[in-house]
A and B are shown apart, each in its own frame.
Chain A
């Protein structure tokens, strides 16, 4: 798994590539929790994720809850088929703000 962060205005865009599973989700989790307090909004690009398991989805739920506690925004965009499948199976998609593109996610479209 590769993960990187870039600043776009007052937001941070987190890019993830590869597999998020039991082995890689601790880094995924740590990166998101470190980014959250440092920006008004964190937008997570899921387009290049080949695989995500329940530990990855659990991390997304935890980050969303923490964003609400900190009065920040945490949004998702670019869902790959692999991610859509897991969201479908876990029925958690409704709790997230999901956008097609980065521009839509950042409100600059």
Chain B
């Protein structure tokens, strides 16, 4: 289970049956539980782009957000589950008041923080590209170990131009 608590009880009408769904704060929330198998990555990519578009990002930013999420999932498959397809990854994408929050939770090996490093701009080595993309696209990124597993949280702010 995720630790993220609803912003208020009305977020989940099941927690408050006397409250109509229309009274709940209308925020889009998408949850997946996917095996650590790369063949499911296109399914998640197919969902996150339209979600980002619904929140308000343009096509280019939706592609970038999709890429960042895909890279984060690929990192879990490669480094936490060592390319074994029998692990599980819980994914939550949640519209927040100011943008989007993505949370991944896995029960694989904890990441070695000393090895989480983005490549430097201008470097022509292939390593570290995925981490570079995630940090470049998202506004904040954090990794933490919790009793539930390894938690990756990334947030992106929607910057309104009007």
> Which A85-109 residues have C-beta < 8 A from chain B?
85-86, 89-92, 95
Decide: A21 and B127 in contact? CB cutoff 8 A: no
- Closest residue of chain B to A95 (Cβ to Cβ) is B124
Q: How far is it, in angstroms, between the C-alpha of A106 and the C-alpha of B41 when the chains are bound?
A: 34
| Complex interface: chain B residues within 8 A of A95 (CB) | 124
Top 6 nearest A-B pairs by Cβ distance?
Answer: A23-B38, A58-B126, A54-B129, A54-B130, A22-B38, A61-B126
**Interfacial chain A residues near B67, Cβ < 8 Å:** 53, 85-86, 89
Query: Among residues 41 to 68 in chain B, which have CB atoms less than 8 Å away from a CB atom of chain A?
Result: 41-42, 45, 60, 63-64, 66-67
CA distance A57 to B74 in the complex (A): 14
Instruction: State how many residues of chain B have any CB contact under 8 Å with chain A.
Output: 28
B interface with A by C-beta (< 8 Å): 37-39, 41-42, 45, 60, 63-64, 66-67, 70-71, 74, 77-78, 121-122, 124-127, 129-130, 132-133, 136-137
Do A54 and B121 form a contact, CB below 8 Å, given A85-B60, A89-B137? no
Q: Which of A21, A22, A57 has the most CB of B within 10 A?
A: A22
Chain B residue with Cβ nearest A58: B126
From A23, A53, A81, A91, B71 is in contact (CB under 8 Å) with: A53
Verify if A33 is at the interface (C-beta below 8 Å from B): no
Given contacts A23-B39, A23-B41, 8 further A-B contacts (CB under 8 A): A21-B74, A22-B38, A22-B41, A24-B38, A58-B129, A86-B133, A90-B129, A90-B133
Q: Is the interface of B mostly helix, strand, loop or mixed?
A: helix
Contact A55 to B122, CB < 8 A, known contacts A21-B42, A22-B38: no
Q: How far is the CB of B132 from chain A (nearest CB, A)?
A: 6
A binding-site residues for B, Cβ under 8 Å:
19, 21-24, 51, 53-55, 57-59, 61-62, 81-82, 85-86, 89-92, 95
Determine which of B74, B124, B126 lies in contact with A53 in the assembled complex, contact meaning CB atoms within 8 Å: B74
Q: How far is the CB of A76 from chain B (nearest CB, A)?
A: 15
Chain A positions within 8 Å of B125 at CB level: 61
Q: In the bound complex, how far is the Cα of B45 from the Cα of A21, in angstroms?
A: 11
The docked-state distance in angstroms from the alpha carbon of A56 to that of B41 is 14
Chain A residue at minimum C-beta to C-beta distance from B66: A51
- Closest residue of chain B to A94 (Cβ to Cβ) is B122
Q: In the assembled complex, which residues on chain B have CB atoms less than 8 Å from the CB atom of A85? A: 60, 63-64, 67
Query: By the criterion CB–CB under 8 Å, are B38 and A54 in contact?
Result: no
Contact status of A90 and B41, CB under 8 A, knowing A53-B70, A61-B125: no
